[in-house]
Amino acid sequence: MTAAALTRLFLTDFRSYAAAELTLDGRPVWLAGPNGAGKTNLLEAVSFLIPGRGLRGSSLAEVGRRMPGEAVGRAWAVSVTVRAGDDELRLGTGVEQGGASRRVVRVEGEPAPPGRLAEHVRQVWLTPAQDRLFLEGAAERRRFFDRLVFAAEPQHAVHVQTYEKVMRERMRLLTDGPADAAWLDALEARLAEAGVLMAEARARTLAALSAEIGTRGERPFPQARLSLTGDWERMAGEGVDFAEIEGRLARALGGARERDAAAGRALTGPHRGDLAVVHVEKDRPAGECSTGEQKALILNLVLAQAARLARAEAPAPILLLDEVAAHLDARRRAALFDEIEALGLQAFLTGTDQMLFDGLAGRAQGFAVDASGLVAC
């Protein structure tokens, strides 16, 4: 494992913060304060240290600080020092003009593409928005699972973005015309290639996660049986040759043009699959379990992914756990803290009450967050 941890964090004009600075020692970090104080904003800032739209799915313009009367968010920046072994590295990201400007990334002060961030920082997160994961539609579960895949295989995000972009281009041709057959053939070939790369990455992560969960034994968090319902992920998991799946998907897309045009959306492909989770002990789908059991199941998936990535050669993941402790009973809360420490991971946890983090005394850094700023506890 390459231990990775943030040792300095700087924010400028990010959300509610005109400026903020944290000096960290690599241990877990808890942030306690009232709702609206800015705890989640700090986690979101950290989440922008990897490619993508952060843990809230926000645009670049949305996260810039705005004063009353300002219609456009200000230019913002997040910069950190990352310690990996005996080495330290400076990373930064933000926008240099207010509004929806192009994202800027710097590695050791030099401009770099956003994808470079994933070489140095990986993250797994859990937020209150995911509490209803098993009650919402399949799209939310796909996004959740793709985030787990991305933590292990950063290139997965590129394949997903490519797939979604080409799918939109194809739908524009089908609905607005001209529906040129040769053009559609070319788009569907690109769509099939990206789609199979997505499906294979999902299948690999599913197999690895299932194996990891199977080794976790008796823990306060319930074990889960996982499956992916999409035909393309199933074929990838069964070891069907890449070219065979690619050809089948391209033919399926070609044969569905009229139907897709009428529906106004693509009705076949890896964007239609779903993640199915079963509570092993009760042999019940997660959606039929209690709210507490669902939360524990999700957390177990996140911890299992973090545990397997902690043993990998790539940088160990940073955990972002927003308002998780408050939803766990004392036994599960203690187990969560013990597991984070045992894995040697840096985690950022938030909560409204400092007492939630009493079990981390001497094992973590704590900060009180309120309107006046951040105070070390």
71-75, 349-353, 360-364: lowest mean pLDDT where?
71-75
Percentage above 90 pLDDT, the chain: 79
**Pairing outcome for strands 29-32 and 365-370:** parallel
Between 177 and 170, name the one with better pLDDT: 170
Average pLDDT taken over every residue of the chain? 92
pLDDT of residue 160: 96
pLDDT of residue 3: 62
C-alpha–C-alpha distance, residues 95 and 105, integer Å: 9
pLDDT-derived band at 67, boundaries 50, 70, 90: confident
pLDDT of residue 107: 95
C-alpha–C-alpha distance, residues 8 and 16, integer Å: 19
pLDDT of residue 218: 65
34 near 103, Cβ under 8 Å?
no
pLDDT average, residue stretch 53-75: 89
pLDDT average, residue stretch 177-198: 95
Q: Give 158-196 as a DSSP string.
A: HHHHHHHHHHHHHHHHHHHS---HHHHHHHHHHHHHHHH
What is the arrangement of strands in the sheet containing 104-107, beginning at the earlier edge strand?
A: 17-23, 4-14, 76-84, 87-95, 104-107, 110-111
pLDDT average, residue stretch 202-224: 88
pLDDT of residue 131: 86
C-alpha–C-alpha distance, residues 67 and 128, integer Å: 26
pLDDT digit string, tens, across residues 282-320: 999 999 999 889 999 999 999 999 999 988 877 889 999
For residue 11, pLDDT over 90 is answered with yes
Kindly provide the b/e burial profile for residues 136-171, where b requires at least 16 CB atoms within 10 angstroms of the residue's own CB.
eeeebbbebbbbbbbbbbbebbbbbebbeebbeebb
pLDDT average, residue stretch 21-48: 95
CA angle, 49 then 54 then 58, to 5°: 135
pLDDT-derived band at 350, boundaries 50, 70, 90: very high
pLDDT-derived band at 2, boundaries 50, 70, 90: low
User: Which residues are 21's β-sheet partners?
Assistant: 10
pLDDT of residue 100: 65
Q: Give 8-51 as a DSSP string.
A: EEEEEEETTEEEEEEE--SS-EEEE--TTSSHHHHHHHHHTTSS
pLDDT digit string, tens, across residues 81-136: 999 878 899 999 999 887 667 899 999 999 999 989 988 999 999 999 888 899 98
For residue 227, pLDDT over 90 is answered with yes
What is the arrangement of strands in the sheet containing 373-376, beginning at the earlier edge strand?
A: 123-126, 318-321, 347-351, 29-32, 365-370, 373-376
pLDDT-derived band at 12, boundaries 50, 70, 90: very high
CB atoms within 10 A of CB 49: 24
pLDDT of residue 71: 80
CB atoms within 10 A of CB 237: 18
pLDDT digit string, tens, across residues 315-348: 889 999 999 988 888 999 999 999 999 989 999 9
